């Protein structure tokens, strides 16, 4: 059983972890994950619960699985049904609408039902090891909720950190004394099972994790603000961290232990961190909702890309995520796949799957 601490890219990374550790040792994994796509797929702020889907299947009293035929109820969106269609694993929905106590209940029911051989709590990047006051944190709530819940179940849970620093929240150097040595290093072979997923999934952290496992090195720019994330030999490593130490360090997770609703959890985040990431999503949804529909003009887009790459080279950037390019060119999330198709058809030599490699100085670019 693998708990994807933050949902999204952590669920994709769970398939890589399974390939590295458990392939050939039995059937597929049960992956517990949030339906929380951070407005890259879902325009509605916050996470989705069972009532936001049709076609879910009951597994226990509190747990529903997300099969390929499940559908989010409009206007909500979710990557989970497509992920379930392309992966052999069973994806079960973590429901934060009842706070940490609700997630704890879900875990306890599954442990009682399945008696799993192992339980891994997996976080890509390592922000689950935060204190809660670090200025670089952007989305601590999901990870803190799963940490709080996993620390309350009557079972052994192993906390694993994949790709330290790759989520762009806590630098890898800050994480070194918060986790143990690497227990494994992901390889290109481990990425192979999610190759098709990486062509469409919006997670930047999972993309960089996969790219480093495939040997990509350099400096990758991510997000709308152009945050630089180093792609180093540390990128594809997976480390074990002490679960109890993580809870003792994480003030937000401790504040969430007895929460019974998402509203309580949000307020705890405001009290500890000074903000709620769902408030940010609400504000962003309002801005996006007033923006007119955009079109993608190939010629002007490629000219703008030349300029963007020239500016990136000056910052010593070697790669970008497709989300970063989309936002830097002033396009909306809904145009990301169209942009990706244009770039791969016009300049395929720059595709460092699943990232975009910045070209060397192109004639005529400024």
Give the strand order in the sheet containing 355-357: 227-231, 218-222, 319-320, 355-357, 351-352
Output the DSSP codes for 166-220.
Answer: TTSSS-HHHHGGGS-SEEEE--HHHHGGGTTGGGT---HHHHHHHHHHTT--EEE
Strand partners, 221: 228, 320
Residue 286 has pLDDT above 80, yes or no: no
Report residue 25's pLDDT band, with 50, 70 and 90 as the boundaries.
Answer: confident
Check residues 362 and 205 and name the one with the higher pLDDT. Answer: 205
* pLDDT in the model for residue 293: 59
Contact between 184 and 20 (Cβ < 8 Å): yes
Residue 285 has pLDDT above 90, yes or no: no
Report residue 366's pLDDT band, with 50, 70 and 90 as the boundaries.
Answer: very low
CA 162 – CA 310 distance, rounded (Å): 32
Contact between 124 and 167 (Cβ < 8 Å): yes
Q: Average pLDDT of 270-274? A: 94
* pLDDT in the model for residue 365: 41
Residue 24 has pLDDT above 90, yes or no: no
Average pLDDT, rounded, for the chain:
94
Output the DSSP codes for 124-155.
Answer: ESSGGG--S--TT-S--HHHHHHHHHHTTSSS
Report residue 109's pLDDT band, with 50, 70 and 90 as the boundaries.
Answer: very high
Kindly list the domain boundaries of the chain, sorted by start residue: 2-220+230-256, 298-357
What is the percent of the chain where pLDDT is above 90?
85
Q: What is the pTM of this model?
A: 0.95
Report residue 289's pLDDT band, with 50, 70 and 90 as the boundaries.
Answer: low
**What letter would DSSP give residue 182?**
E
Strand partners, 241: 159
* pLDDT in the model for residue 189: 98
Q: Average pLDDT of 15-25? A: 92
pLDDT tens per residue across span 28-57: 999 999 999 877 788 899 999 999 999 999
Report residue 125's pLDDT band, with 50, 70 and 90 as the boundaries.
Answer: very high
Q: Average pLDDT of 209-221? A: 98
**Within a 10 A sphere around the Cβ of 339, how many other Cβ atoms?**
20
CA 357 – CA 320 distance, rounded (Å): 7
Out of 113-122, 186-195, 280-289, 346-355, which region has the weakest mean confidence (pLDDT)? Answer: 280-289
CA angle, 40 then 43 then 47, to 5°: 85
Provide the CB-side half-sphere exposure for 294 (13 A, CA): 20
Residue 362 has pLDDT above 70, yes or no: no
Among residues 65, 157, 78, 149, the alpha carbon closest in space to that of 141 is found at 149
Among residues 268, 287, 249, 242, the alpha carbon closest in space to that of 96 is found at 268
pLDDT tens per residue across span 57-78: 999 999 999 999 999 999 999 9
> Would you report the helix, strand and coil content of the chain in percent, each value rounded to 5?
45, 15, 40
Q: Average pLDDT of 84-98? A: 97
Three-class SS of 238-252: EEEECHHHHHHHCHH
Residue 364 has pLDDT above 50, yes or no: no
């Amino acid at each position: 059983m693998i708990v994807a601490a933050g949902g999204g890219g952590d669920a994709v990374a769970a398939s890589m972890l399974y390939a590295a550790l458990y392939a050939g040792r039995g059937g597929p994994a049960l992956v517990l994950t949030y339906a929380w796509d951070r407005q890259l797929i879902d325009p509605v702020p916050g996470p989705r619960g069972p009532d936001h889907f049709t076609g879910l299947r009951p597994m226990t009293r509190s747990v529903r699985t997300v099969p390929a035929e499940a559908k989010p109820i409009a206007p909500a969106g979710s990557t989970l049904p497509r992920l379930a269609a392309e992966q052999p694993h069973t994806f079960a929905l973590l429901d934060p609408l009842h706070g940490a106590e609700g997630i704890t209940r879900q875990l306890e029911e599954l442990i009682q039902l399945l008696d799993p051989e192992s339980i891994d709590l997996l976080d890509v990047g390592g922000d689950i090891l935060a204190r809660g006051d670090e200025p670089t944190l952007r989305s601590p709530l999901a990870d803190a909720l799963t940490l709080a819940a996993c620390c309350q179940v009557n079972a052994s849970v192993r906390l694993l950190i994949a790709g330290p620093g790759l989520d762009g929240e806590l630098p890898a150097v800050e994480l070194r004394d918060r986790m143990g040595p690497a227990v494994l290093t992901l390889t290109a072979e481990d990425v192979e099972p999610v190759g098709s997923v990486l062509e469409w999934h919006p997670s930047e952290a999972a993309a960089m994790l996969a790219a480093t496992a495939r040997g990509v090195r350099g400096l990758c720019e991510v997000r709308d603000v152009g945050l630089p994330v180093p792609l180093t030999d540390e990128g594809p490593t997976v480390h074990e961290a002490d679960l109890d130490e993580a809870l003792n360090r994480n003030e937000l997770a401790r504040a969430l232990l007895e929460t019974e609703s998402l509203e309580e959890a949000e307020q705890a985040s405001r009290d500890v961190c000074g903000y709620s990431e769902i408030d940010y999503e609400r504000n962003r949804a309002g801005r996006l909702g007033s923006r007119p529909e955009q079109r993608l003009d190939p010629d002007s887009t490629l000219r703008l890309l030349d300029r963007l790459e020239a500016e990136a080279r000056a910052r010593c950037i070697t790669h970008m995520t497709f989300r970063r390019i989309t936002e830097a060119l002033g396009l909306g999330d809904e145009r990301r796949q169209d942009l990706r198709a244009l770039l791969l058809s016009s300049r395929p030599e720059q595709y460092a799957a699943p990232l975009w490699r910045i070209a060397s100085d192109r004639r005529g670019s400024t």
